[in-house]
């Protein structure tokens, strides 16, 4: 009985001692598999990086900083003047130069759109190049030292 088992063991040893053909590139493949990131890592890291960047931007909030200080606002100035041949918008925002902001008309309604940074501006309408008019839809400038009417507009920088 023991002889039979010894024979089996001997054959197993012989089988294990038999040389096995090994792919010469096996070592290289094993090393590559060890050093290369796993597929799951390749998918996760870009998302983690993007999330971190988004978080940083949310904390920094560059848009809110810009809006607080100098983000311009778009304003439309309108004057109803059916008899006018020309109307110019002049004010602190265009060096009071009538040539800089000529207004366009449609059926006697004159309009101009300008972008203004936050601040308080004095302005007026110059009708036909000679007649000064304040904006009837805006607060009047109280400190008019030149004898003609002006209006004021305030462009806010926070939540306006």
Binding site for other proteins (CB under 8 A): 68-69, 73-78, 90, 92, 95-98, 113, 118-120, 122, 126, 132, 135, 137-143, 145-148, 150-154, 156-160
Query: What's the closest the beta carbon of residue 98 comes to other proteins, in angstroms?
Result: 7
Q: Which is nearer to other proteins, 84 or 90 (CB)?
A: 90
Q: Which of 106, 97, 158 is nearest to 124 (CA)?
A: 97
Q: Which is nearer to other proteins, 72 or 108 (CB)?
A: 72
Query: What's the closest the beta carbon of residue 115 comes to other proteins, in angstroms?
Result: 9
Query: What's the closest the beta carbon of residue 39 comes to other proteins, in angstroms?
Result: 40
Please list the helix, strand and coil fractions of the chain in percent, rounded to the nearest 5, in that order: 35, 25, 40
Q: Which is nearer to other proteins, 105 or 122 (CB)?
A: 122
The residue with tokens 């560059």 is 62
Q: Which of 107, 112, 111 is nearest to 82 (CA)?
A: 107
Q: Which is nearer to other proteins, 2 or 146 (CB)?
A: 146
> Residue 152 is encoded by which pair of tokens?
């004021």
Query: What's the closest the beta carbon of residue 112 comes to other proteins, in angstroms?
Result: 10
Separation of alpha carbons 88 and 96, rounded Å: 10
């Amino acid at each position: 009985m023991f002889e039979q088992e010894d024979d089996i063991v001997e054959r197993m040893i012989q089988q294990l001692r038999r040389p096995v053909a090994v792919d010469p590139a096996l070592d290289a493949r094993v090393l590559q598999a060890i050093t290369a990131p796993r597929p799951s890592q390749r998918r996760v890291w870009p998302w983690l990086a993007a999330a971190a960047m988004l978080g940083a931007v949310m904390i920094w909030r560059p848009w809110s900083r810009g809006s607080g200080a100098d983000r311009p606002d778009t304003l439309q100035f309108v004057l109803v003047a059916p008899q006018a041949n020309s109307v110019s918008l002049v004010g602190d925002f265009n060096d009071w130069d009538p040539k800089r902001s000529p207004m366009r008309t449609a059926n006697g309604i004159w309009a101009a759109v300008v972008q203004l940074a936050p601040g308080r501006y004095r302005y007026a309408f110059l009708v036909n190049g000679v007649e000064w008019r304040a904006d009837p839809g805006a607060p009047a400038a109280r400190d008019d030292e030149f004898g003609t009417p002006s209006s004021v507009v305030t462009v806010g920088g926070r939540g306006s």
